[in-house]
Amino acid sequence: MATSQVTRYNNYIGGQWVEAGTGRTYSIYNPASKDTVLGEFQTSGVEDALKAVDAAQEALAGWAGTPAPIRAGVLFRAIEILRQRGDDIARTITLEEGKPLSDAQGEVKRAMNIMEYAAGEGRRMFGYTTPSELPDTVAYTVRRPLGVVAIITPWNFPIAIPAWKIAPALICGNTIVFKPASATPWSAVKLMEVFEEAGLPPGVMNMVTGPGASVGNALVESPLVKGISFTGSTEIGTGIYAQGAGLLKKVQCEMGGKNAVILLADADLDKALGGIIQGAFGSTGQRCTATSRVIVEEPIYDQFMEELIDRTSKLKIGDGLDPEVDVSPLASKSQFDIVMEYIGMGTEEGADLVYGGNSVTGGIYDQGYYIEPTIFTGVGLDMRIAQEEIFGPVLTVFKANDLQDAIQISNSVKFGLSSSVYTKDLTQAFEYINTVEAGMVHVNAPTLGGEVHLPFGGLKSSGVGHREQGTEAVAFFSEVITVYIDHAASARERARFI
């Protein structure tokens, strides 16, 4: 596509769409049509990030002083705008990230649900009152915003993840600098436009595109930024958490996963297969909650493998805009390379490649980053494909003697985001619930997803800091202030502790 036809998008700072001070831009391409430029975006630098922080700081007093139910009005308007533009925004997600259009539509719906829940918090955001140990004294708690918060997000849910951070941050009275993933700035611009049109005052939310190492890092380091909400890789999140802690900031990091399904011999096999295939290959395995391991109880292993391969072979691979497609392209060349490298590594490590393993080529496939759904068996627990997050359509299958053995395999990784068991036995289900190391636990359902009014997040290397969504999000994006009011008519002796 000729450069002259490409739309250039700016940063949003202090209520204005502005170019980066660096004078540089970069282009993004459609992963299903890799020569098609989708847009040109600002390659911002540290100065741009700091300008956005200043704008957010300037807007803070006004927004923090706006009653929460009035702040909620902006979110309700944003929901309406998202509803009107849902189809266009879903298409943008598919063009930019590659996921099937139905997944993108689901993502937009999820963002709307999150905003609805957060807007409702504008009329709750409970503190509590409690009896004081002194007479004529009232003791209660209130919530106050943190101040300016940085929102740093990954590319795989370019609307829903920003929304589930931005909406609670706004309702709690914080002002925001939003740094989207460099791979998905187009969706971010569209989300920013929604909030602008919903009537957010200038400076309350700012958006700066550009490299994490400079723009993101400047936000983490800025003394004016009091809270950091990050979702992304464990490697980057660990660094941000350490940096933020050193500066005494409130930090939440949602990171990688290596999620396992445990399949017990008594399970409904048909139901389990549906959930496993959706979890492993839906959204091309590029979900933090994707199923990347299945641990199967020995008596049903052979039957399971036969049906797994049969059903996987029927999945349709193609452009996410095609409504018939089950498995769309990887989101980028770098993601494609990483996944192909892991597939090669699995074979070299001695695992058995029993299905897929190739890039898909010829015809439309030459235009995109397509990889076959891939299945490994005979995987050793010490292999890298057993331990590391691959973030692609690659499933590793393990055999277990019984539930205890399966839980041990499930817990043998450093991650602990999501997990699932398929069984009809309540005793086994509860043993699993009580011992599996994961922040989100499913019974007879895929490892995917979650509802917006319930906490979302992981244990171990998958998450640190507060959970996201539900009331936990309000807990993260606010400080609790304790208030004591002495309304006694005259002076009195006070207790002499702390």
Q: How far apart are the first and last CA of the chain?
A: 69
Return the number of the residue (155 or 432) whose C-beta is nearest ligand NDP: 155
Q: For residues 229-258, which are near ligand NDP according to CB under 6 A?
A: 231-233, 236, 240, 254-257
Return the number of the residue (57 or 233) whose C-beta is nearest ligand NDP: 233
Structure tokens of 454? 């319930």
The answer to whether 179 contacts ligand NDP (rule: CB under 6 A) is yes
Q: 216, 44 in Cβ contact below 8 A?
A: no
The answer to whether 312 contacts ligand NDP (rule: CB under 6 A) is no
The answer to whether 111 contacts ligand NDP (rule: CB under 6 A) is no
H or E stretch covering 431:
helix 426-435
Helix residue ranges, H only, 2-67 = 46-64
Catalytic residue among 96, 254, 372, 389: 254
Distance CA 363, CA 30 (A): 16
The interface region with ligand NDP, picked from 84-92, 155-163, 187-195, 318-326 by CB under 6 A, is 155-163
Q: 208, 49 in Cβ contact below 8 A?
A: yes
- The residue number with the shortest CB distance to ligand NDP is 212
Q: Which of 154, 244, 356, 393 binds ligand NDP (CB under 6 A)?
A: 154
The answer to whether 213 contacts ligand NDP (rule: CB under 6 A) is yes
Burial of 481: CB neighbours in 10 Å, binned 0-12, 13-18, 19+: exposed
Number of residues that bind ligand NDP (CB under 6 A): 32
Distance CA 422, CA 444 (A): 4
Distance CA 419, CA 163 (A): 24
Structure tokens of 406? 């399966």
The neighbour count for residue 80, using CB atoms within 10 Å, is: 13
Q: 178, 188 in Cβ contact below 8 A?
A: yes
The neighbour count for residue 141, using CB atoms within 10 Å, is: 13
Q: Helix, strand or coil for residue 258?
A: coil
Q: For residues 390-429, which are near ligand NDP according to CB under 6 A?
A: 391, 417
Distance CA 92, CA 303 (A): 41
Closest distance to ligand NDP from the beta carbon of 85 (Å): 23
Q: Which of 115, 170, 200, 220 binds ligand NDP (CB under 6 A)?
A: 220
Return the number of the residue (214 or 408) whose C-beta is nearest ligand NDP: 214
| Site map (CB under 6 A) of ligand NDP, residues 43-82, x = contact | ----------------------------------------
Q: Which of 211, 378, 449, 455 binds ligand NDP (CB under 6 A)?
A: 211
Query: 152: closest CA among 64, 219, 53, 75?
Result: 219
Distance CA 399, CA 301 (A): 7
The answer to whether 195 contacts ligand NDP (rule: CB under 6 A) is no
The answer to whether 156 contacts ligand NDP (rule: CB under 6 A) is yes
Go through the chain and tell me how many residues it has.
498
Structure tokens of 194? 């929604």
Q: Which of 182, 206, 222, 410 binds ligand NDP (CB under 6 A)?
A: 182
Return the number of the residue (30 or 222) whose C-beta is nearest ligand NDP: 222
Instruction: Assign 3-class secondary structure to 403-424.
Output: HHHHHHHHCCCCEECEEEEECC
The neighbour count for residue 191, using CB atoms within 10 Å, is: 26
The interface region with ligand NDP, picked from 124-132, 206-214, 303-311, 356-364 by CB under 6 A, is 206-214
Return the number of the residue (338 or 445) whose C-beta is nearest ligand NDP: 338
Catalytic residue among 288, 372, 389, 437: 288
The answer to whether 326 contacts ligand NDP (rule: CB under 6 A) is no
Return the number of the residue (77 or 99) whose C-beta is nearest ligand NDP: 99
H or E stretch covering 39:
strand 33-42
Q: 315, 354 in Cβ contact below 8 A?
A: no
Catalytic annotation present for 288? yes
The answer to whether 331 contacts ligand NDP (rule: CB under 6 A) is no
Q: For residues 372-391, which are near ligand NDP according to CB under 6 A?
A: 389, 391
The answer to whether 216 contacts ligand NDP (rule: CB under 6 A) is yes
Q: Which of 30, 92, 174, 217 binds ligand NDP (CB under 6 A)?
A: 217
Return the number of the residue (308 or 390) whose C-beta is nearest ligand NDP: 390
Residues with a known catalytic role? 254, 288
Binding site for ligand NDP (CB under 6 A): 152-157, 179, 181-183, 211-213, 216-217, 220, 231-233, 236, 240, 254-257, 288, 389, 391, 417, 458, 462-463
